[in-house]
Every structure is written in C-alpha cells, then in structure tokens.
Chains A and B, each alone.
Chain A
Amino acid sequence: MIALRNLQIGYRQRKKAIPVFSGLNAEFGAGELVGLMGDNGVGKSTLLKTITGTLPALSGGVWLNGKNIGAYTASELAQQLSIVVTERIGGFNLTARDVVASGRIPYINVFGKLSPADEAIVAQSLEQMGIAALGDKAVDELSDGQRQKVMIAKSLAQQTPVIILDEPTAFLDYNSKHQLFRILKALCEEQQKLIIVSSHDLDLMKPYIHRSLTMEEGNVMRLT
C-alpha cells in the first residue's frame, strides 16, 4: 500500500538540499500497525511529512497504491491519507463534533454542508471512539486523552485507508497511552487500515505494533 523506495528525506534551502536521512526502503500493507521509532531529531517527523506529501522527497520516492505521492492532487490525497499531529487545536467555538465533521471536508460542497449520510458517518466515528457523549463539548474543555480520540475520530470520518500519527502519546498519561494503542491496533485489524505511528517510546509500542521501522543516526534503518 505504501512503499518507500531509495528515499532520501530532508529540506531544501535556496535550491540547496539539506538531507536528514538517506536510503529508506520499506513496504507496508493494509491492516498493519507500524511503529516508527528513533531518538528525537533523527528524522521521524521529516519522514512522516514526506509520506503525507507535505514535504517533497529529495530523491527516491513514496508510492501510495502504486502511484507516486507527488502525482496525487490535494483532494485525491485527502481521501487516501489522514493525519493526527502533535499541535493542539481548539477555540473559536469548535466542538468535538465540528472537528470530527471536518473529516468530511474532502467530500462536501464549497459551502460546507453535510448531507445526512455525512452526518451519519460523523456520528458513527464519534461512536467508534467512544466519545459520542462528548460531541457537543468544546474541544478546549476536553482532556488530552479525549482530544486525541477526537482527532482519531476525525481521521475515521475522513475514511482514508491510511492514517499517520505523529507522537500521538506526547501529552497522555500512562493509561491513556495504552488505551490509544489498543484502539489503533483494533482499527488496523477490524477495518484493514494501515496506521503508521511515530514515538520514541519503544517499550510502550512494542506489545501493540505489527511492524516497526527504526531510524538511527548515520542513516541506519532497521525494519521488522
């Protein structure tokens, strides 16, 4: 489903390439929960940005269902791949349901009107994450654990076969961390989604993930 081929990731500054990590080769399929591991600063977030198409590859490429990620239009990609990032969101009267409903944005008209079918998908996504009762609550009022569930529910509403999460356990307490991984594992197994999660907490992830990609200094990559 997702293939990294001779991938070199990094940044470009005034046409000069600044590589972060080179020689990434891997292939992941549907139904897999993939743990992306490595110390802070090794390039996990850069890799995730490259996989989501936010950052162009320096060389090599990311292939999604046999098509280069760069060849997708923004709206095509929005229906293939969804993200959960570390930055907290909220304010402006945003309720949990508003955030989850934003997952339908790739599918709805320019005035943002949800059809009854869209509404049903939003309700179902809230239900699946066990936060149906929090729908009308302002996102600001939620705990960090609840917030993460809202963001994952948004990804579910977006109905993408691939979900990418960057350090989703960063703000969570012990129990919420484990609960989050139980949920992610269940999603992979029940809905055949490919979920890639980055974390520097190896011990936490190990019991849940199906596969792991470890990045180490000096372009060393280990794949299980």
Chain B
Amino acid sequence: MLRSRFILITCSLLTLVLALALADLSFGSISLWSLQGDEVMFSTILYDIRLPKTLTCILAGSGLAMCGLLLQSLFRNPLAGPYVLGVSSGASLFVALATMVLTSVNISGVFFAGKAIIAVYSIAGAFFVTLIILAISRKTKSNVTILLVGLMLSQILGAAQGLIEYLSNADKLKTFVMWSMGSVGSTTLSDLAVIGPLTAIILLTAFFLVKPMNAILLNEQYARNLGINVNRLRLQVITITSLLVGIITAFCGPIAFVGISVPIASRLFFKTAHHLHQMVFCMLLGASVLLAADLICQLISTQFTLPVNTVTTLIGSPVVIYLLFKSKLSIG
C-alpha cells in the first residue's frame, strides 16, 4: 500500500472516530447542547457520564480489534478472536468466581480498588485460557482443531459459569449478569486515568511486533527461516491479548463481535497485508464500531440504555456476512 494512500485512509478513519465521538458525547437522554445555560448540569453530564463512556468505547474498541488482528494472523485463521477462542469466557468465568464465590469482592463498587481486583481476575482468566490454546497449538498443526478446542473451551467455561450463577444468590447474580451483558458506561474518569495509559502502552507495544507478524503470515517455517523467534512471538501475542482482553473485559464486560469482525472488515476494506497498516486501521475501525454501537444504543431509546453487546452483534454480524459474500477474495 502506498504511503499516501495509508495516510489518506488513516486521516479519514481518524475523522470518522472524532465525528462519532463528538456525536456520542452530544446525544443521550438529554442533548448536551440544550444544557448550555446550566453550567453544573452540563459539566456533570459531560465529565461524569458522557466523556468516560466515549473514551471507554475508543479504548475498548481499538484494544479488542488489535487482539483480533494479532490472533487471526498468529493462527492464520480469520475465525480466531478473543471471543471464539474462549479468552473472553475465561475472563468472564474468573470474574464470576471473584464476584459470586469469593464474597469479599464487590463488583458494583464505584471505587477503583474493587474494579482493579476484577481486572486482576479477568486478566488471569484470559491468560489461563490463552495458555491452554497455546499449549494445544503446539500439539497440533491444524488450525481447525485449535478453533474447535477454543469453541469447546468456551462451552466448558460457560457451563462452569452457569453453575456458579445457579448457585449464587439473586443480588450477586444480577450484578454479574448486568456486567456480563457488556457496558461501556460504568467507567469513571479516575478509572480511565489508570486503564487509559495502560491500554495505550500495551497497544503501542504491539507495534513492535509488526515485522514478526508480517513474517508469520507466510507460515511458521518461513517465519523461522526469516530469523523470527516464533515461540517468543507466540508468547508476546498471548501476553498482549490476555492483558488487553483482561483489562477491557474487567471494565466493560465481555464484548462480543468487535474482536473477530473488525480485522475481517478491515482486510476487506483496505487491501493490505502489512501489519503496520492493518494495526492502525483495525484500531481506528474498532473504535468507530464501538462508538457507533453505543450511539445506536442511545438513539434507540432515551429511557434506558441497551447493553452494547446486543447492538454490536445484532447490527455488526449481518454486515460482516454481507461483506464476506460481496468480496470475491478470501480474507484468510
């Protein structure tokens, strides 16, 4: 891809993200611009509700899309993604354990400490599942096997979570179920002060993997022959994805669809295999998708906020199916 084209697409996507972010800040149960006379109300809504939510969409959207891209390239399979491989389920199960079994953890608390503990569990869960997937990927060469194992793992973890839910009491169950539906609206600016820079640093680290990721796209034998330490690359990808999925899942719940579909869409829209380009495109597209989903949640109803998962899946999945049929080229 030509440099000028890369810059043009990046600028267009940046404009899209900015426009969607601005719209996301403006609309909701009350339009922000109708409050201009009321300073207190204006700043309360902007700083306590809208801005954290908008920033969370950007962070979570770009982070999950990055994870999907890294996993799809590593396994050379467009079906890979944090949700499909069971990574999100792992994070989910560990959070279920923390909130419903270990009674000391209070998920609904607005204090960062509670969320930080959730994040630790969530990262541990994500890491645990990714390690299993990694171990299996060394035993088998078949990507189909790995994906099937991922799907089975998802089921097992889901069943274990169901068991915990069944045995839990009503109050705890409700908070957990609300969390598991995915929400970008429960983070505060002080949460973001911690997870924002953290996520940004992890995302930046991913850019140091551009060259080995380009090599692994051929296959592992070629990558090794090109001087790439494939085992180290696997560990790096696993670490980055479990940290990102863990942090994002802890604060937003398991968000489906973005991780797997954004990289697919990005490859369909932007014809490049280069990871420097695809990483930038995926992050910006991921942020746009989640912002748009949140915006749709707001516009559908002013009375209540829909869980963001329902929108990403209900609107996003048909779009990807359409794109897949429209494009003649294989994307994976």
Q: Are A54 and B221 in contact (CB under 8 A)?
A: yes
How far, in angstroms, from A74 to B73 measured CA to CA in the complex? Answer: 22
B76 partner, pick from A91, A105, A112, beta carbons under 8 A: A91
Chain B residues positioned under 8 Å from A74 (CB to CB): 224, 227-229
Q: Is A138 at the interface (CB under 8 A from chain B)?
A: yes
Q: Are B227 and A78 in contact (CB under 8 A)?
A: yes
Q: Would you give the shortest CB distance from A152 to chain B, in whole angstroms?
A: 13
- With contact pairs A93-B331, A102-B218 given, residues A78 and B210 touching in the complex (Cβ less than 8 Å): no
Chain B residues positioned under 8 Å from A111 (CB to CB): 207-208, 210-211, 276
Q: Are B225 and A83 in contact (CB under 8 A)?
A: yes
Q: Would you give the shortest CB distance from B99 to chain A, in whole angstroms?
A: 39
**Which of B36-44, B266-274, B294-302 touches A?**
B266-274
Chain A residues positioned under 8 Å from B228 (CB to CB): 74, 105
Q: Would you give the shortest CB distance from B203 to chain A, in whole angstroms?
A: 15
How far, in angstroms, from A82 to B329 measured CA to CA in the complex? Answer: 29
Q: Is B243 at the interface (CB under 8 A from chain A)?
A: no
How far, in angstroms, from A95 to B76 measured CA to CA in the complex? Answer: 15
How far, in angstroms, from A85 to B218 measured CA to CA in the complex? Answer: 11
Interface centre among B73, B226, B229, B271 (most CB of A within 10 A): B226
- With contact pairs A99-B218, A105-B215 given, residues A93 and B225 touching in the complex (Cβ less than 8 Å): no
Q: Is B310 at the interface (CB under 8 A from chain A)?
A: no
A81's nearest neighbour on chain B, judged by CB, is B225
Chain A residues positioned under 8 Å from B210 (CB to CB): 110-112
Q: Are A92 and B211 in contact (CB under 8 A)?
A: no
Q: Are A92 and B217 in contact (CB under 8 A)?
A: yes
Q: Are A52 and B225 in contact (CB under 8 A)?
A: yes
Report how many residues on chain B are interfacial, defined by Cβ distance under 8 Å. Answer: 32
Q: Are A112 and B273 in contact (CB under 8 A)?
A: no
Q: Would you give the shortest CB distance from B181 to chain A, in whole angstroms?
A: 33
How far, in angstroms, from A104 to B222 measured CA to CA in the complex? Answer: 12
Q: Is A172 at the interface (CB under 8 A from chain B)?
A: no
Chain A residues positioned under 8 Å from B103 (CB to CB): none
Per-residue interface assignment for chain A, residues 136 to 165, with 1 indicating a CB less than 8 Å from any chain B CB and 0 otherwise: 001011000000000000100010000000
How far, in angstroms, from A141 to B278 measured CA to CA in the complex? Answer: 21
- With contact pairs A89-B219, A89-B222, A105-B227 given, residues A112 and B214 touching in the complex (Cβ less than 8 Å): yes
How far, in angstroms, from A108 to B228 measured CA to CA in the complex? Answer: 12
- With contact pairs A89-B218, A102-B218, A112-B210 given, residues A94 and B225 touching in the complex (Cβ less than 8 Å): no
Q: Are B225 and A78 in contact (CB under 8 A)?
A: yes
> Which A residues between 83 and 133 are near B, CB-CB below 8 angstroms?
83, 85, 87, 89-95, 98-99, 102-103, 105-106, 108-113
Chain B residues positioned under 8 Å from A40 (CB to CB): none
Q: Are A102 and B331 in contact (CB under 8 A)?
A: no
A72's nearest neighbour on chain B, judged by CB, is B227
How far, in angstroms, from A106 to B218 measured CA to CA in the complex? Answer: 15
Q: Is A175 at the interface (CB under 8 A from chain B)?
A: no
Q: Are B227 and A94 in contact (CB under 8 A)?
A: no
Per-residue interface assignment for chain B, residues 234 to 277, with 1 indicating a CB less than 8 Å from any chain A CB and 0 otherwise: 00000000000000000000000000000000010001111110
Chain B residues positioned under 8 Å from A106 (CB to CB): 226-227
Q: Is A221 at the interface (CB under 8 A from chain B)?
A: no
Q: Are A110 and B224 in contact (CB under 8 A)?
A: no
Q: Are B273 and A109 in contact (CB under 8 A)?
A: no
Q: Is B330 at the interface (CB under 8 A from chain A)?
A: yes
Q: Are A77 and B227 in contact (CB under 8 A)?
A: yes
Q: Are A85 and B222 in contact (CB under 8 A)?
A: yes
> Which B residues between 63 and 77 are near A, CB-CB below 8 angstroms?
72-73, 76
- With contact pairs A91-B330, A98-B274, A140-B330 given, residues A112 and B211 touching in the complex (Cβ less than 8 Å): yes
Q: Are B214 and A82 in contact (CB under 8 A)?
A: no
Q: Is A75 at the interface (CB under 8 A from chain B)?
A: yes
- With contact pairs A83-B225, A110-B211 given, residues A98 and B273 touching in the complex (Cβ less than 8 Å): yes
Chain B residues positioned under 8 Å from A76 (CB to CB): 227
How far, in angstroms, from A90 to B329 measured CA to CA in the complex? Answer: 11
Chain A residues positioned under 8 Å from B222 (CB to CB): 83, 85, 89, 102, 154
**Additional 5 contacts, C-beta under 8 A, given A92-B331, A105-B211:** A52-B225, A81-B225, A85-B221, A92-B76, A102-B218
19 contacts between A and B (CB under 8 A): A54-B221, A74-B228, A83-B221, A85-B221, A85-B222, A91-B76, A92-B73, A93-B272, A94-B218, A95-B273, A102-B214, A105-B211, A105-B214, A105-B215, A111-B208, A111-B210, A112-B214, A140-B329, A140-B330
Interface residues, chain A, with chain B CB atoms under 8 Å away = 52, 54, 73-79, 81-83, 85, 87, 89-95, 98-99, 102-103, 105-106, 108-113, 138, 140-141, 154, 158
